[in-house]
């Protein structure tokens, strides 16, 4: 077992750290306040090749894989979680399934644009009536000659209003009792007739990231844009979430690390009872626990990323990483506000934003309860 990172990976982390500190962090509060999509930050990250970690070189990416991705993602999320989730979706939820399940024609048409960040991507599984029970989705896809015709509505689509290409899951077999077996995946361009974006949500946190609803009204998708085999869409959806959960776990650790950094700094500045608050044992325990839990989660993330990069089973490990990281980071954010006392509750201190941002990591790409189910299912089978 080797805990040393290669020189390439160290360089990616250093590059990410620099751009996060110098360009992404200074914009984060304004994006949050104004609900502004992180277009500028994404453009910069694309220039650095950060949209192409999961696309091979022949399709315009670096092919450096999930471990490289999580090293970069942690730094970006430490600075701005709205930018972090946009970057995570671009890599893990769009480029990755296209590369793993797409045919040569689909990869050539779409992967270079996504890997270079010229196009943004989105992943649309959730519907108003199907969240945790994703296989209960009812959006339909009917074959009509060389096209599929999609009808239905989707909600909670990250980057939905800005995406040029969306991976949309729909039921190609109308027999709802088939559940997962009747679902297929489609590559939908925003310009396809019958595709419409609905309203963007007003959220508690990650306010700069876009969360939209979508409407498919006789949306005509060329037959060549079926991703993978007909009826195998749910397998694609779940495999994609295994990777995505590693990204969201990383988002949690990035926000958690920002909480810890701010708390250590404040503990060395704020005095009460004639002492720095960092001299109180109660505060020291909080800092020590935050650091320990975040480090433990980070190791679970690295393990899951390495397994995925090596093509080994990692569903349980990805769920464990997300469960541990989101729990640790939410605790870290709560304690960070506590350590800051009253000012921790004020908009002008970033821990208030971290506290709102981190909450989502226990909800999307499978709630905490669903991660427990996934892990337990593997233990009991």
Ligand X SMILES: Cc1cc2nc3c(=O)[nH]c(=O)nc-3n(C[C@H](O)[C@H](O)[C@H](O)COP(=O)(O)OP(=O)(O)OC[C@H]3O[C@@H](n4cnc5c(N)ncnc54)[C@H](O)[C@@H]3O)c2cc1C
| Binding region for ligand X (CB under 6 A) | 123-126, 131-132, 156-158, 203, 211, 360, 363-367, 369-370, 373
Q: Provide the minimum distance between the beta carbon of 376 and ligand X in the complex, in angstroms, as a whole number.
A: 10
Q: Is 241 in contact with 183 (CB distance < 8 Å)? A: no
Q: Provide the minimum distance between the beta carbon of 80 and ligand X in the complex, in angstroms, as a whole number.
A: 15
125 or 165, CB closer to ligand X?
125
Burial group, residue 145, by CB count within 10 angstroms (0-12, 13-18, 19+): exposed
- Phi–psi pair at 130, nearest 5 degrees: -140, 105
Q: Which two tokens stand for residue 302?
A: 């690295």
Q: Provide the minimum distance between the beta carbon of 222 and ligand X in the complex, in angstroms, as a whole number.
A: 22
Between the alpha carbon of residue 303 and those of residues 64, 319, 320, the distances in Å are 16, 12, 10
119 or 123, CB closer to ligand X?
123
Q: Provide the minimum distance between the beta carbon of 103 and ligand X in the complex, in angstroms, as a whole number.
A: 23
Element (H, E) at 374: helix 368-380
34 or 341, CB closer to ligand X?
34
228 or 366, CB closer to ligand X?
366
Q: Which two tokens stand for residue 146?
A: 């060389």
Nearest to 368 by CA among 251, 257, 249, 260: 249
CA–CA distance, 322 with 245 (Å, rounded to integer): 6
Q: Provide the minimum distance between the beta carbon of 10 and ligand X in the complex, in angstroms, as a whole number.
A: 31
Q: Which long-range contacts (CB under 8 A, 24 or more apart) does 306-310 make?
A: 306/66, 306/67, 308/65, 308/66, 308/242, 308/243, 308/246, 309/65, 309/66, 309/67
The Cα angle at residue 321 between residues 53 and 360, in degrees rounded to 5:
85
238 or 373, CB closer to ligand X?
373
185 or 300, CB closer to ligand X?
185
Q: Provide the minimum distance between the beta carbon of 69 and ligand X in the complex, in angstroms, as a whole number.
A: 17
Q: DSSP string covering 103-132, please?
A: -HHHHHHHHHHHHTTSS-EEEE--BTTBSS
| Neighbouring residues of 52: CB distance < 8 A, sequence distance ≥ 6 | 60, 61, 62, 63, 91, 95, 114, 115, 116, 117
Residue 186 DSSP code = E
Q: Is 149 in contact with 124 (CB distance < 8 Å)? A: no
Q: Provide the minimum distance between the beta carbon of 280 and ligand X in the complex, in angstroms, as a whole number.
A: 36
Active site residue ranges: 365
């Amino acid at each position: 077992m080797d805990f040393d990172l290669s020189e390439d990976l160290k360089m990616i982390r250093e590059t990410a750290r620099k751009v996060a500190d110098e360009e992404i962090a200074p914009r984060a509060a304004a994006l949050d306040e104004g609900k502004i999509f992180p277009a500028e930050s994404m453009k910069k990250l694309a220039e650095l090749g950060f949209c192409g970690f999961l696309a091979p070189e022949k399709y315009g990416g670096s092919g450096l894989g999930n471990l490289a991705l999580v090293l970069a993602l942690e730094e970006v999320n430490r600075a701005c979680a709205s930018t972090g989730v946009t970057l995570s979706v671009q890599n893990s939820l769009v480029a990755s399934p296209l590369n793993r399940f797409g045919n040569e024609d689909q990869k050539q048409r779409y992967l270079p644009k996504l890997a270079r960040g010229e196009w943004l991507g989105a992943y649309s599984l959730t519907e108003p009536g199907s969240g945790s029970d994703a296989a209960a989705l009812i959006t339909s896809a009917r074959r009509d000659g060389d096209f599929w015709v999609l009808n239905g509505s989707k909600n909670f689509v990250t980057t939905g209003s800005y995406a040029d290409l969306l991976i949309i899951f729909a039921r190609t077999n109308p027999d709802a009792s088939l559940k997962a077996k009747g679902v297929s995946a489609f590559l939908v361009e925003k310009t396809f007739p019958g595709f419409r974006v609905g309203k963007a949500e007003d959220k508690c946190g990650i306010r700069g990231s876009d969360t939209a609803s979508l409407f498919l009204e006789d949306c005509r998708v060329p037959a060549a844009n079926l991703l993978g085999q007909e009826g195998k869409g749910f397998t694609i959806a779940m495999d994609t979430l295994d990777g995505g959960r590693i990204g969201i776990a990383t988002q949690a650790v990035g926000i958690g690390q920002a909480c810890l950094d701010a708390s250590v700094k404040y503990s060395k500045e704020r005095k009460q009872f004639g002492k720095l608050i960092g001299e109180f044992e109660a505060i020291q325990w909080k800092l020590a626990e935050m650091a320990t839990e975040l480090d433990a989660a980070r190791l679970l993330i690295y393990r899951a990323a390495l397994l995925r990069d090596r093509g080994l089973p990692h569903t349980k490990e990805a769920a464990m990483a997300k469960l541990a990281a989101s729990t640790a980071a939410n605790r870290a954010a709560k304690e960070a506000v506590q350590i800051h006392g009253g000012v921790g509750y004020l908009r002008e201190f970033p821990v208030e934003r971290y506290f709102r941002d981190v909450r989502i990591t226990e909800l999307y790409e499978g709630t905490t309860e669903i991660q427990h189910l996934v892990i337990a299912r593997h233990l009991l089978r």
